[in-house]
Structure 1
Amino acid sequence: MERVRAFLALDISEEVRREIGEFEKEIDSVGADIKLVETENLHVTMKFLGEIDAGVLEKVYDVMRGLREEKFVMKVEGVGVFPNWRVARVVWVGIGEGRERVIEIQRKLDSGLAGLGFGRERDFVPHITVGRVRSPRNRDRLLQVLEKYRGRKFGSCVAERLVLKMSQLTPKGPIYSDLREVEFT
């Protein structure tokens, strides 16, 4: 059976993507060894499913349809890192207003998907991954930029749908395509 690399996400608006893109340009200018996410690929990951049998996609879609969520506003603001500031491996932008709704939806997804054999998330932090740090090159300069943007507001957008996405890995980076979506009311 065909296998698909998939995840569930909330898309963000073009306006917010543009604002984050400006932040990415500044990160890029310091010469840090970081792989930045292409602006068109920016999203809030709700659940990474990994490599799954294509036949499981319909069952995942059933879980998505069972959510019955309403649209809500997400304010995209602040900058953080995983796992911590001393060993920054992932750079991200956070969710302010709307954060609790994102967490609530993610918990519902986790519960529904657990019945399909997917593991539960621990300590889910709503965020938009901006880049992955590959080495400590120019780390201090990178941290200066991150500190400058730490309280930055990148705008707000309406979370209108949950999207099941496929990720094809290529040498130039991942290519995402939407497989299914569920509109919020």
Structure 2
Amino acid sequence: MRCFIAIDIPSVIRESLAKLISHISAKSSGVKFVQPENIHITMKFLGEIDEKKTQDVIASLKVLSASHSPFSLEIKGAGVFPDPKRPNVLWVGVSESGRLQSMYKAMEASLALLGFEKEARRFSPHLTIGRVKERRSAGFAVHELLKHSGEVFGSFEAREICLMQSVLKPSGAEYSSLATFGMKQC
């Protein structure tokens, strides 16, 4: 099964992002926007893994979550990867104190022991809200999104991480939670 590890966001932030997506997508083409219910912070994409490996990941995430306490995240800013002249991904930013980065590094080390490759790129937490399908038509969407580069969409306390399954369908990816791991309470 196709899996990834994520942190979910509260519905109030999801609703705020849904309004942003609705505003931008109403007048733009060339971008496939993410359904608001599918918006999350991806910690790591695992790819296709079998049942045995899934159980190993679950065991690893139980230990990881038990060794980290909840932390605050602020959803703010907006931009594009890799840059506005060559947009591929439209995103909303995640600002944090370093505890998410710390958890990410521990997760990478733990998953490396299970045979997963460490990411070559630096972890840049964000919420993907759209993927550019045709650059020539994406200019309006990029321009509109960048108007929100200083906006704060909300903040919340991350209390759990999730192992998610992604099923690819013609209508788009469908996500479901395979397991949720609460962080240790102080």
* Contact kept in structure 2, 1:32 and 1:137, CA below 8 Å: no
Percent identity, aligned pairs only, is 35
TM-score (norm 1): 0.93
1:149: which partner in 2? 148
Of the three residues 27, 32, 43, the one matched with 1:30 is 27
- How far apart, CA to CA, are the structure 2 residues paired with 1:48 and 1:140? 28
* Alpha-carbon separation, structure 2, partners of 1:108 and 1:31: 40
2:55 maps to which residue?
Answer: 58
Distance 1:99 1:169, change over 3 A: farther
Q: What letter corresponds to residue 131 of structure 1 in structure 2?
A: G
Tell me, which stretches of 5 or more residues in structure 2 are unaligned? Answer: none
Return 5+ residue gaps in structure 1 as ranges.
none
Q: Which string of whole-angstrom CA distances, capped at 9 and with x for unpartnered residues, describes residues 126-185 of structure 1?
A: 011111000024333122202211111111122110100000111111111111111012
Cα pair 2:40 2:127 within 8 Å, conserved: yes
Read off the aligned partner of 1:105 and give its amino acid letter. M
Aligned partners of 2:4, 2:58: CA distance in 1, in Å? 11
Task: State the match for 1:44 in structure 2.
Answer: 41
State the TM-score, normalizing by the size of structure 2: 0.93
1:9 to 6, 14, 17: 6
Aligned partners of 1:154 and 1:180: how far apart in 2? 27
Aligned length: 181
Runs of 4+ aligned structure 1 residues displaced above 2 Å come to 137-140
Give the deviation of 1:32 after TM superposition.
2.4
